[in-house]
Amino acid sequence: MEALLHQVMLGISNGAIYGGVALALVMIFKSTHHVNFAQGELAMFTTYVSWTLIQAGVPYWAAFALTLMFAFALAAAIQGLILQRVQHAPVLVVVIVFIGLLIFLNSMASWIFGTTIKPFPSPFAVDAWYGTAYFSPHQVGMTVVTLATLAAVYGFFRYTRLGLAMRAAAINPISSRLVGVRVDLMLALCWGFAGLLGAVAGMMAAPMFYLAPDLMSGILVYALAAALLGGIDNPWGAPIGGFIVGVAENLAGSYLVGTQIRLSVALLIIVVVLLFKPSGLFGRKSVVRV
Amino acid sequence: MSALLELRGVSASYGAAPVLQSIDLAVEQGAVVALLGANGAGKTTLLRAVCNMMVRTGGEIRLAGKRIDGQSTAGIVRLGVAHVPEGRGTFEELTVAENLRLGSYVRRDADGVTRDLARVLGYFPVLEQRQRQQAGTLSGGEQQMLAIARALMLRPKLLLLDEPSFGLAPMVVQKIFEILGTINRQESIGMLLVEQNARLALDLASHAFVLETGRLVMSGEASTIAGDESVRRAYLGM
């Protein structure tokens, strides 16, 4: 029973990370109708940047904040300088660009930072008061940080003028231009926020898995499963999908399939969702009027 | 004094095929100008050319004397051109209130926006009760009203209207045109109106142009155009 509870809690904290990356995927999908396969590598690369800053003696939370700014700028620049040029290209071209970005970021990380795995510090002390037998302080901390980031992003989109303009640009770019919204800028900002969410997920995940160029490759698959399960066009579905995938993955890994092949749980979820409920649990059915 | 909107030798094309050729057209301050023509004559393209949207243009387009051709759509909107596109272009997933807020997106005068919201909802009281509703759940007529209301929230100098009667019941169309008339009388907004329903358009407009396969073939006082034999036969069904 205790082991079960432990696995559930572990699933929830992992799920927070998957949910964060899933929301990043959903944001980009909603605004451009593309799945950003390079989302994970972007997060991994920015996590290396924060590692470099921390190694250089920058205090953790300062490095955290600087990394968020870097991640925002890098992601916005990728949209503005690269993807904007292929926005009207066939979808296969865009997919190839994403895969190119994935390989490029991965190779750059290996080249610049080396491929040896590195321990990554957690800002949450091992003996902090909020740790319990089931939930280590880092797991509590990362769940709280991820949820707080999600809440901030939702608040931004729901209550600010710029957030409204970004939603409008995603829903109807033509009408958005007609009310004076600079749609290309909004897409770049949207990428920026997605990059920021990924950076938070990367920095929170790294202390659990060590930092290596493949830090996010598994997480991206779980996040994709979470996004599809929650409904790829529903931002509210992403974190819920993340928690479900996190818990399912941990329970299946412990009791059903063993830890070696638990990534296949995510693949199974992806296949089942796509086969039986492509709109996900909370997505809207896409109806094409003809 | 220069006209509010002036087109000189304007051409427009999608890709290689020219849609408009050597168009000269003017809309005076506060005037309603109707643009008539059959399907495919290039009416919608002309409105798109004015705000540089989805179409390549040549020639000169001036707003209150200043060249605007070549500027970005968002930039032209900021100069005071509101476009109610064909198919209304409402943000269906957003609420009515959010649609209206987007209409005033480029404005920085919060007090003015609040006053304008009250004024615009005065024109379209039905939107007042529907503010929290998703725009996509409104009826066609209400969506058209929302599209016009959203355009007015810009406090535009020039309003481009692309077939506001399209797909609506005659009663609703009548009402929308009455409101457009009221708006024109109460505010000095110039309107360029593309309309299939030539009779309604000529009633509202002071001036009219007739477009045929990409060229202007006739222009004049709305009453003169309405009395023209060929126009009566082609567009008024008499």
Q: Which of B14, B47, B53, B91 best tests the A interface by mutation, with the highest count of A CBs <10 A?
A: B91
- Say if residue B63 is in the same domain as residue B113: no
Please list every residue in chain A whose beta carbon sits closer than 8 Å to the beta carbon of residue B92: 171-172
Name the residue range of residue B19's domain. Answer: 5-80+157-236
Domain at A2-276: CATH architecture: Orthogonal Bundle (1.10)
The predicted structure's pLDDT at residue A289: 45
Is B72 part of the contact surface with chain A (CB cutoff 8 Å)?
Answer: yes
Vertex A167: Cα angle to A161 and A171 (nearest 5):
140
Min Cα distance A189 → chain B (Å) is: 17
Report which secondary-structure segment, H or E, holds B26: strand B17-27
CA distance to partner chain B, nearest, from residue A170 (Å): 10
* Residue B85 included in any domain: no
DSSP string of A145-206, one letter each residue: HHHHHHHHHHHHHHHSHHHHHHHHHHH-HHHHHHTT--HHHHHHHHHHHHHHHHHHHHHHHH
**Strands lying side by side in the sheet with B56-63:** B17-27, B5-14, B56-63, B66-67
Q: Which residue from A164, A167, A178 is facing B85, i.e. has the nearest CB?
A: A178
Q: Tell me, yes or no, whether B70 and B185 share the same domain.
A: yes
**Amino acid making up residue A130:** Y
**Domain co-membership, B132 together with B165:** no
- pLDDT higher at A64 or A281: A64
Between B72, B73, B105, which is nearest A165 by CB?
Answer: B105
Which residue type is seen at A64? F
Tell me how close the Cα of B105 comes to any Cα of chain A, in angstroms.
7
| Selected residues 23-42 of chain A with any CB under 8 Å from a CB in chain B | none
**pLDDT category of residue A290 using cuts at 50, 70 and 90:** very low
Q: Cβ(A59)–Cβ(A119) under 8 Å?
A: no
Query: How much is the mean pLDDT over chain B?
Result: 92
How many helices (H) and strands (E) are present in chain B, helices listed first?
10, 10
Q: How far apart are CA A29 and CA A230, in angstroms?
A: 13
pLDDT tens across A105-145, in order? Answer: 999 999 999 989 999 999 988 887 887 777 889 989 999 99
Mean of pLDDT over chain A: 91
CB of B154 within 8 Å of any CB in chain A?
Answer: yes
**Is A105:A217 a contact under the CB 8 Å cutoff?**
no
Query: In this predicted structure, what is the pLDDT of residue A285?
Result: 62
- Contact of A170 with A29, CB cutoff 8 Å: no
Cα–Cα distance measured from residue A125 to residue A3, given in angstroms and rounded to the nearest whole number? 23
Contact flag A178-B51 (C-beta cutoff 8 Å): yes
* Residue that terminates a domain, selected from B108, B129, B155: B155
pLDDT tens by residue, A207-266: 988 899 999 999 999 999 999 999 988 888 999 999 999 999 989 888 887 777 888 889
B76 and B161 belong to one structural domain: yes
Say which residue the tokens 């004024």 belong to. B119
Residue A32 clears pLDDT 90, i.e. is over it: no
Q: Which of B124, B155, B186 is at the close of a domain? A: B155
For chain A, give every domain's residue range.
2-276
> How many percent of chain B have pLDDT more than 70?
99
**B230: helix, coil or strand?**
helix
Co-location of B162 and B136 in the same domain = no
- Beta-carbon neighbour count of residue A126 at 10 Å? 9
Residue B127: other Cβ atoms inside 10 A: 23
> In terms of pLDDT, which residue wins out, B76 or A1?
B76
Q: Cβ contacts (< 8 Å) between A159 and chain B: which residues? A: none
Which among A161, A175, A181 has the least Cβ separation from residue B89? A175
Q: Is A56 on the interface with B (CB under 8 A)?
A: no
Q: Note whether B148 and B210 are same-domain residues.
A: no
* Within a domain: B30: yes
Residues B26 and B127 in one domain: no
Is a pLDDT exceeding 70 seen at residue A192? yes
Q: Is the pLDDT of residue B1 over 70?
A: no
Strand-strand pairing, B32-37 and B190-194: parallel
Instruction: Read off the pLDDT of residues A280-289 as tens digits, 9 standing for 90 and up.
Output: 888 776 554 4
Burial class (CB in 10 A: 0-12, 13-18, 19+), A36: buried
Total number of domains in chain B: 2
Facing residue for B77 by CB, picked from A161, A168, A180 = A180
Assess contact for B205 and B222: CB atoms under 8 A: yes
B155 lies within 8 A of chain A by CB: no
The complex scores an ipTM of 0.90
Task: Flag whether pLDDT at A199 surpasses 70.
Answer: yes
Asked if B53 lies within 8 A of A175 by C-beta distance, the reply is no
Question: Does any domain span residue B144?
Answer: yes
The Cα B72–Cα B69 span in angstroms is 9
**pLDDT cut 90: percent of chain A above it:** 70
Q: How confident is the model at residue B92 (pLDDT cuts 50, 70, 90)?
A: very high
Last residue of a domain, one of B112, B133, B155: B155
Q: Is B92 on the interface with A (CB under 8 A)?
A: yes
Give the residue-averaged pLDDT of B35-41: 89
* Phi/psi of residue A283, nearest 5 degrees: -80, 160
Tell me if B86 is assigned to some domain.
Answer: no
**Residues in contact with B144: Cβ distance below 8 Å, sequence separation at least 6, in sequence order:** B88, B164, B168, B172, B176
Residue closest to A15 by CA, chosen among A160, A149, A173, A201: A201
